[in-house]
Amino acid sequence: MKKHDSLFNNYRPECRHWREPVRVGRQIVLCSSYFAMRDITEGAPGFAVYLAEAWRDKLGFFSTNGSYIKRVAQRRAYPCLFVDWKDFSTIPFLVLDELVEICLCKMRQGKVIEIACNAGHGRTGALLACLIIRKEHLSGERAISEVRRRYCRHAIESKAQEEMVKNYSLMRAIW
């Protein structure tokens, strides 16, 4: 696969991540795959961040001025955001930082948040790693290995995503 510098195949039939609890600091974050979706109202999170187009199409999000982060259009059982983030790719630092801040804010309010993309590996794993960096003050490299240990060994699935996570921890250290 030359188009992306992918580390793994995206789809792993053995993985059926659906609202899988992963420890971040002293809290739990739920990680999900669109492919493994069950009843979305069952065990619903307090807040959700959806990172793949399939979620946008299913839930119907605003499209606002080409911005990366969009709000949900209809009233749902729980508030959620959609982020324009292409499979295997990365998002700019400032967008990532804003997204992480939103997640941390919700976590500070005591909400259980859900992060989801298609298979629940690349984009979900990358954002999860950034939350671990902020909550546990780990290096990018450590956070990546913790995501693969605590959640799934296929998580964070491109070199570019690994670099984005490492860069995030370096940028945050001097911020």
Shortest Å, Cβ 111 to Zn ion: 24
> Is residue 15 close enough to count as binding Zn ion by CB under 5 A?
yes
Segment contacting Zn ion by CB under 5 A, of 47-55, 73-81, 87-95, 151-159: 151-159
CB 86, min distance to Zn ion, A: 20
Of 90 and 124, the one with the shorter C-beta distance to Zn ion is 124
Number of residues located near Zn ion, criterion CB under 5 A: 3
What is the spatial distance between Cα 167 and Cα 175, in angstroms, rounded to a whole number?
12
Cβ closest to Zn ion, residue 112 vs residue 119: 119
The set of residues, in sequence order, having a beta carbon less than 8 Å from that of 120 and lying 6+ positions away, is 15, 17, 20, 31, 32, 33, 34, 36, 152, 155
Piece of 14-22, 125-133, 134-142, 156-164 that binds Zn ion (CB under 5 A): 14-22
Q: Does 113 bind Zn ion (CB under 5 A)?
A: no
User: Residue 117: phi, psi to the nearest 5?
Assistant: -135, -140
- 154 is a site residue for Zn ion (CB under 5 A): yes
Rounded to the nearest 10°, the torsion over CA 125, 87, 89, 44 is -40
How far apart are CB 11 and Zn ion at their closest, in Å?
10
Name the region of 169 (left: φ>0; alpha: ψ -120 to 50; beta: rest). Answer: alpha
Q: Is there binding between residue 152 and Zn ion (CB under 5 A)? A: yes
The answer to whether 135 contacts Zn ion (rule: CB under 5 A) is no
| Least distance (Å) between residue 25 CB and Zn ion | 22
130: which 2 tokens?
């950034």
Please give the span between the terminal C-alpha atoms of the chain, in angstroms, as a whole number: 36
**Closest CB 22 distance from Zn ion, rounded Å:** 11
31 contacts 151 by C-beta, under 8 angstroms: yes
Binding site for Zn ion (CB under 5 A): 15, 152, 154
